[in-house]
A = this chain, B = another copy of it.
Amino acid sequence: MFMCNAEERTDLMRVALGVEFADIVILNASVVNVYTGEILQNCPVSIKGKWIAAVGPHAASAAGESTLVLDAAGKTLAPGLIDGHTHMCFQIVETMVPYLMKGGTTTLIAETMEFFPAAGYEGVVEFLDSMKDQPIKVLATAPAGVSISKALNGLSHSKLGKLLERDEIVGLGETYWHAVLQSPEVFVPTLQSAMQLGKPLEGHSAGAKGKKLAAYATAGISSCHEPITAEEAIELLRLGFYVMLREGSIRKDLEQLSKIRQAGVDFRRLVLATDSVEPKELVEKGYLEVVVQKAIACGFDPVSAIQMATLNVAEHFGLDDVIGGIAPGRCADILVLPDIRTIAPEMVISNGRIVFRDGELLAKPRKHHYTDISLKSIRLKKTLKSSDFDIYVNGASDNPVAVSPLSLGEGAGVKVRIIEMVSDLVTKELQADVFPVDGKIATDLRKDIAKVAAIECRNGPGRLFVGLIKGFGIKKGAIASSDAWDTTDIVVVGANEEDMALAVNRIRELQGGVLVCEDGKILAEVALPIFGVLSDLDMEQLAERLQSVRQAARALGVPFDDPVLSLDTLTGAAIPHLRICEEGLVNLKDGKTLPLRVH
């Protein structure tokens, strides 16, 4: 897939030797050499087909009648940027690609953990199909299948090996540390099979250090994008990890992490990555070029900053023979920058083709025809009723809240576990007494206690669990999403049961979405019909619609910067501490599933 074939290689040799003309020759530019760390003045580059034929004075002689000669006097050439760790954030590949092209990201390595819960092995294959034959290289990691719910096990794990064998799968996606340490018998075989194929293991070590981090390293995990302080980054580097400095929509850690400059350590294993950029930020700010620019602003030498988004990440994935540098035999992925400190490409060459020039996109993404594998991923058999969201203290409900069958008198307190929001993403377990009315446990909005539910809708029979959440701020209505992280669930937080049911039923109707409703009316929604997590809207529309959902959520009282992210992560297996899935509450510290009631 990535290597030149024998014929291309023979052609390249002929162009390098000067016995055949190049397709493109770039003259008079300075070139960032990521291998030596130099900036080479007045250094011609010749291109044949998708590939770089030669770099250096002699490259100029490959310019013939048929050659496009580009005068880049005063400009600086850098290799195309590589994002080594990201997630498709509501966006499909074809919608995202133009924004990558114009910013100079010529290779993207995407997680597929979202598509596996939604549609299993076949879903991941459909996503891989959507990546093919784009003007830039879109690659992926195989889903590691970490989840707090057992529903994921129903999907075909045995086919993960087949995914790992594919050329466009360049690693195993992030395998959260506590899952690996808690269940080595589950994960070690998967890690081994990836390593045997020479594919690196992406990590996620947030919160691990010392013994735990060492144990995680022995498992073979070789990167992490989670450190938030320079000290954490250094600990990871010392253990042999590639450390991805994250700067994207989920977190912006680069400024804090850039203090690593003072530590005098080698930067060869530092990598810049986004971990995802959500539509509004993508439209208004840009993508990885913004991160490289910020690294320079944070004091990194520009050449180091560029190495961190090119060669270093290519080496991590063992792709440095093909991408990551301007050298003979590598992909012709080249940015023409106004100068070394300004990461705003005036021209972007990707796979030997000019895809962006002077503000204008010159290549179009290939549109993918999605099939029912992705378009029919919400398989909830029937609509829900508001009573499905009742919590019966004596277990008399349809829902499987695992309370002991004690009959309690009115007014007697029941000790329950409540998900408490500690920040917009981090939660903890709060134990408190609640007082059932008519045998049911209700919300207590004065105390900011609302209901939260997770409804399995992809693989199982529509099992659901209803719990309580404190600190989400919701005072009325409901907010729901089918983008519930790491599970096959729809997640919903509501001030009342009617709106919770409405929200979930509307998602079922849309075959995926994120939305806000109040008093029986949908206030704002974004349909996510592809895998239940991706939109087919154009990027600006998508950004706008998502904003309207966020605003609507804030109007219900949710105080967080991004209420959708706060909601989606409630089922996540990576962010501490108490999470929810269709089976109950889950304490990430030990992976145990817990009932609502504390006996």
Contact = CB atoms under 8 A, between A and B. Distances in A.
8 contacts: A15-B218, A17-B181, A18-B211, A35-B237, A51-B218, A54-B214, A240-B320, A240-B327
A215 B5 contact: no
A215 B13 contact: yes
Contacts of A38: 238, 264-265
A542 to B, nearest CB: 38
Interface in A32-46: 33, 35-38, 40
B13 A184 contact: yes
Interface string A280-319: 0000000000000000000000000000000000010010
A54 B211 CA distance: 8
Contact of A196 (B3, B16, B315): B3
A58 interface: yes
Contact of A239 (B55, B188, B218, B263): B55
Interface in A548-595: none
Contacts of A58: 210-211, 214
In the A-B complex, list the 7 residue pairs whose CB atoms are closest, starting with the nearest. Answer: A240-B327, A16-B215, A217-B328, A54-B214, A36-B265, A12-B218, A37-B266
Interface residues of A, number: 69
Contacts of A40: 238
A6 interface: yes
Nearest to A61: B211
B266 A16 contact: no
A188 B9 contact: yes
Interface in A201-255: 210-212, 214-215, 217-220, 222, 234-235, 237-240
Interface in A50-80: 51, 53-59, 61
A269 interface: yes
A57 B14 CA distance: 56
Contacts of A263: 36
A218 B16 contact: yes
Given A37-B264, A59-B214, A217-B327, 20 more contacts: A3-B220, A5-B192, A9-B218, A10-B188, A12-B218, A13-B219, A16-B214, A17-B181, A17-B214, A35-B266, A54-B211, A54-B218, A56-B210, A56-B238, A61-B211, A198-B318, A214-B328, A218-B329, A239-B327, A240-B329
Nearest to A201: B321
A329 B36 contact: no
Contacts of A5: 192
B269 A35 contact: yes
A384 interface: no
A325 interface: yes
Number of copies: 2
A154 interface: no
A470 interface: no
A207 to B, nearest CB: 15
Contacts of A237: 35-36
Contacts of A359: none
A195 B3 contact: yes
Contacts of A200: 321
B36 A6 contact: no
A212 B36 contact: no
B195 A234 contact: no
Contact of A238 (B9, B55, B222): B55
Contacts of A341: none
Given A13-B218, A17-B215, A240 B3 contact: no
A189 interface: yes
A53 B328 contact: no
Which of A200, A239, A265, A318 has the most CB atoms of chain B within a 10 A radius of its CB? A239
A191 B218 CA distance: 34
A105 to B, nearest CB: 21
A356 B161 CA distance: 41
A411 to B, nearest CB: 47
Given A16-B211, A17-B181, A181-B17, A329 B217 contact: yes
Interface string A9-35: 110111111100000000000000101
B329 A220 contact: yes
A240 B35 contact: yes
Q: Pick from A37, A51, A214, A327 the residue with the most CB of B within 10 Å.
A: A214
Contacts of A3: 192, 195-196, 220
* Most chain B Cβ neighbours within 10 Å, of A188, A217, A237, A265: A217
Contacts of A328: 214-215, 217-218, 239-240
Contacts of A195: 3, 321
A268 interface: yes
B220 A189 contact: no
